[in-house]
Amino acid sequence: MSQTPFDIQRAAVVGAGTMGRGIVMCLANAGVAVQWVDNNPQMLEQALVAVAETYAHGVRQGRIDQGEADARIARVTRADDYAAIRNVDLVIEAVYENLELKQTIFRELDGLLKPEAILASNTSALDIDAIAAVTRRPTQVLGLHFFSPAHIMKLLEIVRGEKTSTAVLDAALVLGKRMGKVSVVSGNCHGFIGNRMLHPYVLEARKMLLEGAFPHQVDAALQGFGFAMGPFRMYDVVGIDLEWRARELAGKGQDAPEVQVDNRLCELGRFGQKSGNGYYHYEPGSRQAEHDVEVDALVLRVSEALGFQRRVIGPEEILERCLLALVNEGAKILQEGIAESAHDIDLVYLNGYGFPVDKGGPMAWADGQGLEDIHARLLELETKQGDHWKPARLIGELAAQGKGFAQA
Catalytic residues: 145
Task: Say if residues 78 and 44 touch (Cβ distance below 8 Å).
Answer: yes
Strands 76-78 and 90-93 come out as unpaired
DSSP 277-312: BSSSB--TT----B--HHHHHHHHHHHHHTT-----
DSSP lists the bridge partners of residue 146 as 156
Task: Say if residues 25 and 32 touch (Cβ distance below 8 Å).
Answer: no
Task: Say if residues 80 and 54 touch (Cβ distance below 8 Å).
Answer: no
DSSP lists the bridge partners of residue 183 as 156
Amino acid (1-letter code) at residue 145: H
> Is the C-alpha dihedral spanning 268, 274, 280, 282 positive or negative?
negative
3-state secondary structure of 83: helix
Phi, psi of 264 (to 5 degrees): -65, -40
Cα separation, 395 vs 386, in Å, equals 18
Phi, psi of 393 (to 5 degrees): -50, -40
User: 371: phi > 0 → left, psi -120 to 50 → alpha, else beta; which?
Assistant: alpha
